[in-house]
Amino acid sequence: MPPSQIEIGLLLHTRHLIRDGDSGSHVSELWKTAERADEMGFDHLWVGDSPRLSLQDRAHADCLTITAALAARTNKIRIGTVPLILAMRNPVLTAHSLATLDVISGGRSMIGVSAAHQYPFAQREFEACGVPFHQRAGRLNESIQLLRRLWTEPSFAFEGKYYRFEELGIEPKPIQQPIPIWIAASDNDNALRRVARLADGWFTVAHTPAQFAERRRKIDQYAKEYGRAEKIIPSMLFAAFHLSYDTAAEAEGWNLAEKYFDQPRAKLGHLSAFFGTPQQCAEQLRAYIDRGLAGIVARFVAPDAEMQMRLM
């Protein structure tokens, strides 16, 4: 796949909106970055549905509220949340919110979902929302199917393992029929099977091209088992970037990442890191592209988003 066909998305940081002072100025900066990405031709904008709990200093602003505001402030760029923790939410209410967002945006919405964040207080957060933590995978699978039906069918009754209701439908229906649902999965076979069976696209944080290729191979194999051999399931790499022409770009990138996550490098092994010159990072990405990567979502660790967007 030629590099010109690779989609480039931008992750907007929302953690500092609620943990730092002067929140108003931070929100204004967020809108400015989003509008600039729209003008520059980025393909999509993303916000995270990270923990709401204040413990561990990890809470973020509410993702669906932010995406609705982004839809009203941009014109062309697609807008999504990744990963939306769908199992924690009521699927009827979520389907309604996302359908409304799609109407507001003129059909530009998309979502990336996963079962749950892996962090110490995840179970506490689920329980606080009335959802048993051990049910998160099953609820996610059922919710994905419910969202698609609520978006496309006038009305229906449902009797599932986790959700049940008498005949109903939602309005408005989304412009897209249906809204694309991407699924985040690493090397867990159950998660990769979920991608193969239910996904419109696959989010990955594969740290090497070889990891990416092996997981891609498994998804294609499982898709055949589920009778979806002809379904094209595109893939997107969620990665951290620091672009600079400075010879110390890699070291600077790790320093910035440690500062943002408030963790030493030894504990940041979950990051797919692209720290270097634009040419170096392009070559690093080429190995993924040659193995079928369709797009990236870039998390910039440097505070100067304008410069990073230009270099990207």
Q: Is the pLDDT of residue 76 over 80?
A: yes
Confidence of residue 1 (pLDDT cuts 50, 70, 90): very low
Q: Mean pLDDT score of the chain, rounded to an integer?
A: 92
Q: Is the pLDDT of residue 223 over 80?
A: yes
**pLDDT tens digits for range 178-203:** 999 999 999 999 999 999 999 999 99
Query: In this predicted model, which residue has the larger pLDDT, 235 or 22?
Result: 235
Written as one letter, the residue type at 223 is A
**pLDDT tens digits for range 114-160:** 987 667 788 888 999 999 999 999 999 999 999 999 999 999 999 99
Confidence of residue 26 (pLDDT cuts 50, 70, 90): confident
Structure confidence at residue 21 (pLDDT)? 56
Measured CA to CA, the distance from residue 179 to residue 173 in angstroms comes to 10
**pLDDT tens digits for range 80-117:** 999 999 999 999 999 999 999 999 999 999 999 998 76
Structure confidence at residue 58 (pLDDT)? 66
Measured CA to CA, the distance from residue 299 to residue 11 in angstroms comes to 5
Structure confidence at residue 20 (pLDDT)? 56
**Both structure tokens of 217:** 């191979």
- Range list of β-strands (E), the chain: 7-11, 44-47, 78-84, 109-113, 156-159, 164-168, 181-184, 201-204, 235-243, 273-276, 295-300
Q: Where are the alpha helices (DSSP H) in 158-248?
A: 189-198, 209-225
Rounded mean pLDDT, 298-307: 94
